[in-house]
Amino acid sequence: MAREPGTTDLPVSPARQDIASLDQAGLAAALAALGQPAYRARQVLAWLYGRLAPSFDEMTDLPASLRQGLADRFDLTHPVVLDVQRASDGTRKYLWELPDGVSVESVGIPLGDRLTVCYSTQAGCAMGCTFCATGRGGFARNLLPGEMAWQVALVARDFGTRASNAVAMGQGEPFLNYEATLGGLRFLNAPDGQAIGARHLTVSTCGVIPGIRRFAAEPEQFTLAVSLHSAVQETRDRIMPGACKWPLRALKTALVDYTAGAGRRPTLEYALIAGQNDTHAEIAALVSFARGWLCHVNLIPVNPVPGTGTSRPDDRRIAEVASVLRNAGIEASVRVERGSDIDAACGQLSQRYRAGRG
C-alpha cells in the first residue's frame, strides 16, 4: 500500500512527547523527521497557536496520515481553566491547570481596543520576593514554549479578540527558563501564530544578568522590563532574596550595555511599598541608578497580598515620587491600577484556589 512519504516509516517512540515542548525549530525538525516539506511546520504552527486546534484531527488541511503520525507521537492538551475572576474594570484573571496537574495564572487587561495579556513562564517561582504570593508558594516547574503561547491565545479567545500586547510578567522568572521563554515569544510573534509585534512582547526579569545579555543579542525587537523595586542593595536583597546574586552595580552595567547594544530602552519596574522602598533615601538611590542612560521608570502602587505586611503609599506620596524622578530628568509613569477588586496580584488566585480545595 502507498504511504505518505516518511510518515509511517519512522518508529513510534513509546515515550510520547508533549507537542507544547517544541519550539519553532523543534516543530520544523519533527515535521522533517516525518518526511514532510518545510511548509507543513508552518501549517501545524498555525493550527496550534493561531487557530487553537484542540487535537491533530482538527488540522483538516494536513493529510490524514500525517495527522495520525503526529497523534501517534505527540500529546496535544490545552490548559484547562479552573477559575476566572472578573473585575469591574473588565480585567479577567485566569487559573489554568496543565496536563500534569500544576496550575498557573494569566491576566487579560482590556483597554479601549487593546488587550494586554500577562502570562506565566514558570509554575511557581524560586525567587522568593517578599511582597509576592507566588514567591511564597515556591517553585513547581518550568513551563513549555507552547504552554506560554496557549495562555495568551486562550485569554484572547475568551475576550473574542486578538491580544495586542503580551507580557511575561506572571508567575516565574522568565530568564531562569530562557530557551522556552524565547520559544513562547516566537510563537506569539509568528505571523501564523498570534502575530503580536515584537515590540509589543515584553519580558520582565528580576535582573538575571546572563539572561539580559543573551536577550540583547536576539534579532527580534522584544521589549525588556526589569523588576528593580529598590536601588539600595540591602533593601533589594531583603525584598527580592532570589536576585541577590546579581548585584545592583553589575545590573546597571548590563542594562547600560543592553541599551547601547540593542538600541532599545528597558523599563525599570518599581513596586512602591509604603515604608520600605518609598523613603527619601530610597528614592534618591533610584534617581542615582536611573539617571543618565536610556530607561523608563514605571511606578507600581503595590497590590497588597494578605500576610505579607505590605501596603501601598498614599496617592500624594506616589505623585511626589513621580515628580522627583521627572525633575531629575528621568522618564517616569505611574501604572494605572487594574483589577483591584479581584485577586490581581501574581499568585493570589492560585493560593486562594489551593486554600479552597484544601
Nearer to ligand SF4, 70 or 209 (CB): 209
Alpha helices in the chain (DSSP H): 24-33, 39-45, 64-73, 133-137, 145-159, 178-189, 209-216, 233-239, 248-262, 280-290, 315-327, 348-357
Tell whether the torsion through CA atoms of 138, 139, 140 and 144 is positive or negative: positive
Nearer to ligand SF4, 28 or 117 (CB): 117
Round to whole Å and give the CA distance between 263 and 27: 31
Q: Residue 301 CB, nearest distance to ligand SF4 (Å)? A: 15
Stretch 130-189 residues interacting with ligand SF4 (CB under 6 A): 132, 134-135, 171-173
Given 4, 97, 105, 147, which residue is catalytic?
105
Stretch 288-347 residues interacting with ligand SF4 (CB under 6 A): 346
Q: Residue 133 CB, nearest distance to ligand SF4 (Å)? A: 8
Stretch 209-268 residues interacting with ligand SF4 (CB under 6 A): none
Q: In this structure, are residues 187 and 49 in contact, taking their beta carbons and an 8 Å threshold?
A: yes
Q: Residue 229 CB, nearest distance to ligand SF4 (Å)? A: 9
Catalytic residue at 179? no
C-alpha cell at 148: 506560554
Stretch 19-78 residues interacting with ligand SF4 (CB under 6 A): none
Round to whole Å and give the CA distance between 194 and 156: 9
Nearer to ligand SF4, 129 or 283 (CB): 129
Q: Residue 350 CB, nearest distance to ligand SF4 (Å)? A: 11
Q: Residue 70 CB, nearest distance to ligand SF4 (Å)? A: 34
Size of the site for ligand SF4 (CB under 6 A): 12
Round to whole Å and give the CA distance between 340 and 87: 7
How would DSSP label each residue in 59-83? -TTS-HHHHHHHHHHEE----EEEE
Write down the number of H helices and E strands in the chain.
12, 14
Catalytic residue at 346? yes
Stretch 74-133 residues interacting with ligand SF4 (CB under 6 A): 125, 127-129, 132
- Catalogue the active-site residues: 105, 346
For ligand SF4, the binding residues (CB under 6 A) are: 125, 127-129, 132, 134-135, 171-173, 206, 346
